[in-house]
Structure 1
Amino acid sequence: MDRGGRLVGIYTTPDRGAAMRARSRVRVIEGLGLAGDRYAAGTGTYSARGGSGRAVTLIAREAVRAVVEDARVEFAEHETRRNLVTEGIDLPDLIGRAFRVGDVVLYGARLCPPCGYLERLLDRPGVWRALVERGGLRADVVRGGTLELGAAVVALPTA
């Protein structure tokens, strides 16, 4: 990966199924996730499943735009229900490695495939299929801090 990207969207919601709220900055808690988000509080739809990769979810702006074209439905970034929206970085390249978003360090745990829950919640047929292989990334918080829109997203060197 030659260059990094940037953070172009931050979204949280305190409750499963509730609308995502846009934020210009958010505190990130090591080992938990984004302050004020359902997954940091352990109340997200999939919180009970446990395991790594439940703290923060990311999706690329480029993927959202491709979904709009392929599914031919209006679909906004916050409707993906991912916490962070990036631009200019290939998220699958971050699987199995640490990366920095501003002063926060995350670890790319695994891909974040779409689920039927999202399509039912939005009541927009075709969104699920269009998100397959574009659903983004699940990550753990290695080092907390504060995220702000415009922050650089950069893969850290591997050991």
Structure 2
Amino acid sequence: MIVERIFISPERGVAQLECEHITLHSGMGIVGDRYFGKDTYPGQNLTLVEAEVIEQFCAEHARTADLSLTRRNLVTRGVRLNDLVGVEFTIGTVRLRGVELCEPCVLVGNNLSSVSLTPAAVIKYWVHRGGLRADVISGGEIARGARIEMAI
């Protein structure tokens, strides 16, 4: 159960930046990300998605595997993120709480659609597979390759 890739979005609509490590602050999120310090809704601090789900989507729809395509912050491997809703866990030195599933929106549908795949079909595919929203309980650093562990 590891972090395979890390991405931030400094501004809305711009390409994500891939990072080797990020710094998170309690209740604030990722330093440098466009959502840092915003609290419009719970779970806005950090988003996670499973690499295996992205790879499956790409394989089923004849796309090149691109782990950034969902625009989530952390791409994980070897963990069922749906099982972390309501659970405290750690990644690196950061303590997190899974808040809710990160269900797909119209933007994801539009971004991942193609001639043979409508936005509605994309959204349907990603329901309950879109990842996890999490709040930062105690800040610190997360680096690529960091282990994901249940909090004690």
User: What TM-score, normalized to structure 1?
Assistant: 0.85
Residue 122 (structure 1) shift: 4.9
After superposition, the C-alpha distances for 1:136-159 in whole angstroms (9 at most, x for unaligned) are 0000000100110110001123xx
1:58 aligns with 2:44: no
2:41 counterpart SS class? coil
What TM-score results when the alignment is normalised by the length of structure 2? 0.89
Task: Tell me how far apart the structure 2 counterparts of residues 19 and 123 of structure 1 sit (CA, whole Å).
Answer: 18
Is the 1:71–1:127 contact (alpha carbons within 8 Å) kept by the matching residues of 2?
no
Q: Determine the structure 1 residue equivalent to 2:13.
A: 17
Aligned to 2:69: 79
1:118 alignment counterpart: 108
Contact 1:17–1:121, Cα closer than 8 Å, also in 2: no
CA separation in 1, counterparts of 2:112 and 2:15? Answer: 11
Between 1:128-137 and 1:101-110, the stretch displaced more is 128-137
Question: Between Structure 1 and Structure 2, which shows a larger proportion of helix residues?
Answer: 1
Corresponding residue of 1:91? 81
Query: Is this contact kept in 2: 1:64–1:76, CA < 8 A?
Result: yes
**Which consecutive unaligned segments of at least 5 residues does structure 1 have?**
none
SS in 2 for 1:65: helix
Q: How much does 1:85 deviate?
A: 0.7
Amino acid at match of 1:97: V
- Matched AA of 1:107: R
| 2:24 matched residue in structure 1 | 28
Match of residue 154, structure 1, among 141, 149, 152: 149
Moved over 6 A (4+): none
CA contact (8 A) 2:10 2:33 kept: yes
Identity across matched positions, percent: 35
Q: Which blocks of at least 5 consecutive residues in structure 2 are unaligned? A: none
Q: How many residues align?
A: 147
Residue of structure 2 equivalent to 1:135:
130
Which of 40, 47, 52 lines up with 2:36 in the alignment?
40
